[in-house]
Structure 1
Amino acid sequence: MLDHLAFFYQVIIASEFLLKEAIFLLGDDGFEGDLKAFYAKHLEDEKGHAEWLKEDLGEHPINLHFGAAQLAGMAYYLVRHVHPVALLGYMKALEGHPIPIEYVEAVEKAHGAQAGRTLRLHAIEDPHHMQELEAVAVPSQWAPLVESTRLQTRKLIEGLS
């Protein structure tokens, strides 16, 4: 269980930088301005979560997981070299499958309440975040990229399980 958390720690540490990169690359007007504001709000919502998860892991080692590097690397490439809207698909894949509360409770039972702190927060917040992600109006030209990114991210995650 804690190895699973360590994997997600590595995914989460990339999230802040992905959001910052997307914000940097987006324009200030129209769709890009709206998307930039959405990413800035999400960045604020996610602030500190990686550090919390690291604290939750306590002394458990965080070994390099190349699957986390694959996920983040794909997202970095798409944000930087295709369009920052691709990050929406990545976020939908990660937040569109909320952590079951039963899993959180199993982690807490096995490793103490502290180990489940950040998991519990995401189990509660991710459904709300998904509603926000779905509400973002994506121009038709970018909708296939968002959906393809979501599907590819899910495929990578499922292949790692």
Structure 2
Amino acid sequence: MSGTAALAAPPGSNARILKSKIEFALPALHTVIARVWSAPDLDRRYVDYLQTMHQMIRATVPLMAAGIARCEQLAGDPVADGVAAYLGKHIHEENGHDDWVRQDLELICPEAGELLAAMPSPAVAAAVGAQYYWLAHHHPVCLLGHIAVLEGYPGSPELPKLLAKRSGHPDRAFRTMHVHAVLDQRHRDELFDAIDALPLSARHHSMLGVSAMHTIGSLATVFEELADRRVAAHRIRTMATEGE
């Protein structure tokens, strides 16, 4: 790597560089998500969605705690110090969000406990597990690329209302989705401000980009599973009915 390539980007441009990468890949993810929300059996699809989101969100606080611990091991690294400062503030904002998802699920699914005890898919494990690996064995700044995908592009506050109407589930079962659509607008700004304040080199930018792209790809696989799970179940039911 040349000396020029290692120079930090000009102030204010770090987030722009990351966002340009994320926004190039997001349309493909949005296409897969749209398949889930446009399904005719949205009532059951939403149950599957909540099960999967709980599996991911319950890892948020432990993952950030691991990130803080790793940053402390790298004390004196200005990027790690900046990541620790951001995570130290943000971790409190995320506490208890998995309970929100659980409560949403319990409102509409008598088997909520059984669903939440199920083993997560490899796609869910890959989305979260890669971050543990990178922060432990490479650099904790990677975690900010992951968070940028999850919180940097809040959903529409109108989406929960539309899904409640289409699914037949009560509005209160969409609390987590609604609250995140509002909260993540502030979280997005705080995150990108924190990224802009970091003295990132080209190497750090590469880490952020790889982490973000991996998260988008993993989420696309997660939502493909949600879409195909319902399709497969419908086919099985149809075959069983035709065989009667």
TM-score of the superposed pair, with normalisation by structure 2: 0.61
Match for 2:67 among 22, 30, 44?
Answer: 22
CA RMSD of aligned residues (A): 1.7
Distance 1:106 1:75 in 2: 33
The aligned residue for residue 38 of structure 2 is: none
- Matches of 2:212 and 2:141 in 1, distance apart? 11
2:206 alignment counterpart: 144
Letter in 1 for 2:86: F
Quote the sequence identity (%): 29
Whether the aligned pair in 1 keeps the contact of 2:54 and 2:101 (CA below 8 Å) is: yes
| Distance in 2 between residues matched to 1:108 and 1:43, nearest whole Å | 30
**Retained in 1: the 8 A contact 2:124–2:222?**
no
Query: Quick one: distance in 1 between partners of 2:71 and 2:136?
Result: 10
Q: Which has the larger radius of gyration?
A: 2
| Moved >6 Å (runs of 4+) | none
Q: How far, CA to CA, are the matches of 1:75 and 1:92 in structure 2?
A: 13
The residue aligned with 2:36 is none
TM-score (norm 1): 0.90
Structure 2: which 5+ runs fail to align? 1-45, 224-244
* Aligned AA (2:216): R
Per-residue displacement from partner, 1:10-62 (whole Å, max 9, x unpaired)?
A: 11111111100000111355332232121011100111101111111103333
Which stretch of the first structure deviates more once superposed, 64-73 or 41-50?
64-73
Name which of structure 1's ranges 67-76 and 10-19 shifts more when overlaid on structure 2. 67-76
- Does 1:123 pair with 2:185? no
TM-fit CA distance, 1:124: 0.8
Q: Is the 8 A contact 2:160 2:171 kept in 1?
A: no
Using the TM superposition, name which of 109-118 and 145-154 deviates more.
Answer: 109-118
Matched, 1:133 2:178: no
Distance of 2:143 and 2:60 partners within structure 1: 10
SS in 2 for 1:76: helix
Residue 72 of structure 1: which of 125, 128, 131 is its match?
128
1:77-92 alignment runs, 5 A limit:
77-92=133-148
Match of 2:81 among 30, 33, 55: 33
State how far apart, in whole Å, the 1-side matches of 2:156 and 2:82 are: 31
User: Is this contact kept in 2: 1:8–1:68, CA < 8 A?
Assistant: no
Q: Spell out, residue by residue over 1:118-156, the C-alpha distance to the aligned partner (whole angstroms, 9 max, x if none).
A: 111111111221222211233113111011111111011
Deviates more, 1:27-36 or 1:51-60: 27-36
Question: Please, which of 155, 162, 169 is the counterpart of residue 99 of structure 1?
Answer: 155
Q: Which residue of 2 aligns with 1:47?
A: 95
Q: Deviations over 1:74-125 (max 9, x none)?
A: 1111111111111000101111232233331134343213211111111111
